Amino acid sequence: MKAFLGMGLLGSNFVKAMRKKGDEVQVWNRTASRAQALEAEGAKAFENVTDAVKGADIIHLTLRDDESVDEVLKNAEAGLKPGALIIDHTTTSVEGAIERTKTWKAKGFTYLHAPVFMGPPNALESTGYMLVSGDQDVIRKAEPELSKMTGKLLNLGATEGKAAGMKLAGNLFLQVMTVGISDMLALAKGLGISSDEVQGLFSEWNPAAAMPARLKRILSGNFDQPSWELVMARKDSGLMIAEAEKAGAHLTVIPAIAAEMDKWIEKGYGSKDWSVIAKDNI
């Protein structure tokens, strides 16, 4: 028997996938109607979280943040089966994941943080990526359950909290990329370039393919053989900002990048590869 707490878009689709595989699942959500909607899939909904976890060997959570995870688990504690495995897919702080692992172990339960790079379609189709780290014996025991839920289970090693940290780092990249796309569309619109034309460019040109090589170069710490000099990159960012200002287009990330470039040019790195601006973070 499984219990699943948190019936947002991700949790709901995880439950639907579990039901398709024949799993018995008890569900709970703060807004009861969201849990009740899963009864059409064969899940059993409960209005009280303590009742929802009774008899469950494994309890999954997809909640909002550290505070909600702590609150829900505290309220569910009285109904937990001795020795139950708690698997938390919530994006949380590193400290929170470490503390919960320690706290629930002391209470006789196993807590494993397993955040995901998955959207609702991935949860339904059991694709995407799931991250784990910490006690390797715990991970080995949980692996059969977790592997059924995802396309790839990434074991990041024995360090507690590393999965939480890697999830935050990955989400940061996704947010920066999305705001970069927004800036690009704003500039293109200001220059009279349609969104269809922009999409056409990226159907032919895939800059994401260069990401592993760019990361490798940055991590090497060698910026002496530039493919794009910092001063030239700064010149281009200046053109972007100027064109956007003329068109009345708002840019979010490029002005900040330009300011960072200026700092490194002032330090004397203008002739280096422009990726030198990441030097202090290696």
pLDDT digits (tens, 9 = 90+) for 165-201: 999 999 999 999 999 999 999 999 999 999 999 999 9
Strands (DSSP E) found in the chain: 2-5, 25-28, 44-46, 58-61, 85-88, 110-113, 116-117, 129-132, 152-155
Give, as one character, the DSSP assignment of residue 80. Answer: P
Average pLDDT along the chain = 97
pLDDT digits (tens, 9 = 90+) for 27-53: 999 999 999 999 999 999 999 999 999
CB 170 within 8 A of CB 129: no
**Residue 108 maps to a domain:** yes
Tell me the residue range of the domain where 60 lies: 2-160
In 24-161, alpha helices (H): 32-36, 49-53, 66-76, 94-106, 120-125, 136-147
Scanning the structure block, which residue is given the tokens 């470490």?
Answer: 98
Same domain for 134 and 22:
yes
Domain count, the chain: 2
At residue 1 the predicted structure's pLDDT band, cuts being 50, 70 and 90, is very high
CATH code of 116's domain: 3.40.50.720
| The token pair that represents 228 in the structure block | 């794009």
**Residue 172 maps to a domain:** no
Predicted model pTM: 0.94
What is the rounded radius of gyration, in angstroms, for the C-alpha atoms of the chain?
A: 23
CA 67 to chain centre: 18
**Residue 242 maps to a domain:** yes
CATH code of 252's domain: 1.10.1040.10
Same domain for 202 and 134:
no
CB atoms within 10 A of CB 141: 13
pLDDT digits (tens, 9 = 90+) for 46-89: 999 999 999 999 999 999 999 999 999 999 999 999 999 999 99
Sheet holding 25-28, edge to edge: 44-46, 25-28, 2-5, 58-61, 85-88, 110-113
**Residue 178 maps to a domain:** no
Same domain for 258 and 199:
yes
Same domain for 230 and 103:
no
Question: What pLDDT score was predicted for residue 182?
Answer: 97
Same domain for 155 and 37:
yes
CA distance 172 to 110: 29
Same domain for 202 and 267:
yes
Same domain for 139 and 22:
yes
CB 78 within 8 A of CB 49: no
Task: Name, in order, each residue with C-beta under 8 angstroms of 209's C-beta and a sequence gap of 6 or more.
Answer: none
**Residue 165 maps to a domain:** no
**Residue 252 maps to a domain:** yes
Same domain for 202 and 133:
no
Same domain for 21 and 138:
yes
Same domain for 132 and 239:
no
Same domain for 218 and 129:
no
243, 247, 248, 249: CA torsion to nearest 10: -60
**Residue 248 maps to a domain:** yes
Same domain for 73 and 145:
yes
CB 257 within 8 A of CB 278: no
